[in-house]
Amino acid sequence: MDTPELSIRELDALFDQSPVAMAFVDVQLRTRRANAAFSQLTGLSGEALLGRRPSEVPGADRLVDTHFVERTLAEQVISKGIPVVNMTLERKRVVLAWTAYRVTAGGRVVGAVSALVDITGPAQADMDLRQANTRLDLLQRAGSEIGTTLDVRQTAEELAALAVPGLADRINVDLLDPSLQELDLTRVDLPELRFHRFAIRDAVVTAPLNFAVGDLITMQVTRRPAIAFMQGEPVLARNPAEMRESGLAASIVQSLLDRGVHTFMSVPLTARGVTLGVAGFSRAENPEPYSEADVRLVSDLAARAAVHIDNARLYTREHDAAVTLQRSLLPRDIPPVPGLDIAYRYQPASRGAEIGGDWFDVISVDPGHVSLMVGDVTGHGIRAAAIMGQLRTSTAALVRLGCPADQIMDQLSDVVSGQDDEAGATCIHAEYDLQARRCRLTSAGHPPPALRSPDGATEFINVPAGLMLGAGHDDHRRAVEIHLAPGSILALYTDGLIEQPGEDLAIGMSRLTRALSDGPAGSLDELCDSVLASLAPHPRDDVALLLARPT
């Protein structure tokens, strides 16, 4: 009967004519047969394949890890009969789906058949989709993780933290020297650019650094990176050869190569037409070189970060201007008052908060009387500081004219109400008679003063708060008169000393009593420093503190 022979010919035809790449190996893993589709897919001729193990075929290792294939065939497929189904084999951007199964004849294992399908296209599409999702996620995270404060250095560090390790193995954020940030770099004649390093992050903690945070970095304007930077263009080096040709200083390139970096890109940080600095991204552990798609992603990310950096920069500039104005309007020196020790402190809000309008003053009326004032303008910034200056000047004039405290408060209220609907202020006025040791206290919506007795016990003086300044005249404002014994300490302060967000005011007042009671009893200056260190080391609002002690 010729049925078996016909079946064999049919099976041969099926093997040879199959569009799927197929090859048969014996138990020694030597190729005994490979169809035309296999040769076409792999680029390996039948003569190169026949009689050889996969690792012995010239050029086979460029397609697959031949040692892995042999180990899997021998230890899993042929030995145990466990098939491989659609296992992904990836080598140099070629992706294959590999299926292999054991072949037996007459109860005896004779080898294994392998089938290969090129899935590079679908795999690349899937990879592109995953990368697109990753990039979208990165940009979404940038919206919530960059710019959480109005601090330039913190914002630069947030950009670095977002980029490593997902986008880069190493990143540096360098900002132009402030004197260059407002210049049109394409129109000025500069010999060099000056950068300050604001952040650096590396996936390897012990990696060498060519520049540390805070270092000054100079770059000749004739170099290609400087030219690209001034024109607002990125620089891409996809491999070490391009890094050497990028125009970066040889020392910088060598430090990157020593780190193991094999691909690099830098993008300018530009916001509102102002070029603020540059961010450099590099890869060492990640084997993938940067591409133009990566440059586009990083440019988008850098643009978002640059807006936050610019916001922080502008805020810092206004904050510093407000602090300068505020300090210029406060008294430079408090005149000595015979019979009264005085100490004072003004602590502006930290960089993470806006400057306010706190003030204090000591005004000697005659040898026997002195006025102590502490006040706080609502709102923040230069406007609040300017209103504060008007109030302090008006107060000094009214006190020296001999106006009583209630009239002074009414006049100051008119000054505030003459600004705008949102303006307001609080203040407390203490008139002290040195001979009688009597102190008359009047408040306009201000926190109550504290009094530390000579034995160290501290309590708050119940002064009716009255209307705050700017809310109109208060015909029912009442003054409170107390006796100040020698050695007692009167503390006038603004609410920045005792207020914390989300916390009851009584808690802050309790902390103040402890700080005054437990503070040093000798020097008032030391007591001022002790109270501030305890209650407001990094205040969110301005703090003015004025201490007075009869001698």
Tokens 């603004």 found at? 494
CA distance 220 to 333: 48
CATH number of 3-118: 3.30.450.20
Q: Give the per-residue pLDDT at 419.
A: 81
Q: pLDDT digit string (tens) for 338-351?
A: 889 999 998 887 65
> Residue 266, SS3?
strand
- Degrees (nearest 5) of the Cα angle 75, 79, 81? 110
Domain chopping of the chain, boundaries: 3-118, 128-320, 330-550
Apex CA 178: angle with CA 200 and CA 542, to 5°?
A: 90
In whole angstroms, give the CA distance from residue 343 to residue 351. Answer: 25
Indicate the pLDDT class of residue 355, thresholds 50, 70 and 90.
low
φ, ψ (nearest 5 deg) of residue 238: -80, -15
Range of lowest pLDDT (10-14, 24-28, 400-404): 10-14
Say which DSSP state 319 is in: H
CA distance 47 to 217: 61
Say if residue 1's pLDDT is above 50: no
Q: What is each CA distance from 316 to 125, 221, 436, in whole angstroms? A: 46, 28, 48
Give the pLDDT of residue 126.
63
Reading the block at residue 118, the tokens are 């090129």
Check residue 262 and give its pLDDT.
94
pLDDT class of 123 with cuts at 50, 70, 90? low
Highest average pLDDT, of 101-105, 182-186, 332-336, comes from 101-105
- Cα-based distances in Å from 310 to 149, 176, 182, 301, 388: 12, 12, 11, 14, 28
Structural contact between residues 313 and 181, judged by C-beta atoms closer than 8 angstroms: yes
C-beta neighbour count of 417 within 10 angstroms: 16
At 125 the pLDDT is 63
Whether residue 540 has pLDDT greater than 90: no
Q: What is the mean pLDDT of residues 80-109?
A: 89
Residue 125 zone, left/alpha/beta (φ > 0; ψ -120 to 50; rest): alpha
Residue 356 DSSP one-character state: -
Task: Answer for the pair 43, 36: CB distance below 8 angstroms, yes or no.
Answer: no
Task: Describe the crossing of helices 152-163 and 120-145 by its angle, rounded to 10 degrees.
Answer: 160
pLDDT in tens, 468-493: 998 888 877 889 999 998 999 999 99
Neighbouring residues of 106: CB distance < 8 A, sequence distance ≥ 6 = none
Look at the pTM and tell me if it is higher than 0.85: no
Q: Please list the residues that pair with 483 across neighbouring strands.
A: 438
Q: How many CB atoms lie within 10 A of CB 111?
A: 22
Across the range 92-103, mean pLDDT stands at: 88
Report the top-level CATH class of 330-550. alpha beta
pLDDT band (50, 70, 90) for residue 385: confident
Q: Give residue 127's pLDDT.
A: 61
For residue 4, pLDDT over 50 is answered with no
Over the chain, what is the mean pLDDT? 87
**What is residue 198's predicted lDDT score, i.e. its pLDDT?**
95
Q: Which CATH superfamily is domain 128-320 in?
A: GAF domain (3.30.450.40)
**Does pLDDT of 128 surpass 90?**
no
Q: DSSP secondary-structure letter at 88? A: E
Q: How confident is the model at residue 380 (pLDDT cuts 50, 70, 90)?
A: confident
Q: What is the mean pLDDT of residues 350-367?
A: 76
Q: What is the pLDDT of residues 250-273, one digit of tens each?
A: 888 998 999 999 999 999 999 988
For residue 168, pLDDT beyond 70: yes
pLDDT of residue 426: 94
